[in-house]
Amino acid sequence: METATPDQALCRLDDIPDGGAIAVDAVLRDGEESVIVLRRHDAVRAYMNVCPHAGRRLDWAPGKFLIKDNLLICAAHGATFQEGDGLCVGGPCRGEHLRAVSVRLAEGEVWLDE
What pLDDT is attached to residue 91? 95
For the full predicted model, state whether its pTM sits above 0.85.
yes
* pLDDT for position 114: 65
Q: Quick one: pLDDT at residue 52? A: 96
- Residue 2 inside a domain? The answer is no
Q: For residue 1, tell me if it sits in a domain.
A: no
For residues 37 and 32, give the distance between their C-alpha atoms in angstroms, rounded to a whole number: 15
Return the pLDDT at 113.
Answer: 86
CB 77 within 8 A of CB 54: yes
| Residue-level pLDDT at 4 | 73
Inside any domain, residue 18: yes
User: What DSSP designation does 14 have?
Assistant: G
Give the pLDDT score at 93.
96
34 and 48 in contact (C-beta within 8 Å)?
yes
Q: What is the number of domains present in the chain? A: 1
In a domain, 4, yes or no: no
Please report whether residue 90 resides in a domain.
Answer: yes
Which of 27, 98, 104 minimizes the C-alpha distance to 59? 98
The shares of helix, strand and coil residues in the chain, as percent rounded to the nearest 5, are: 5, 45, 50
Does any domain span residue 70?
A: yes
Which domain range does residue 75 map to? 9-112
Residue type, 16: I
Say if 83 falls within a structural domain. yes
Residue 100, domain CATH: 2.102.10.10
> Which residue ranges in the chain fall short of pLDDT 50?
none
In a domain, 3, yes or no: no
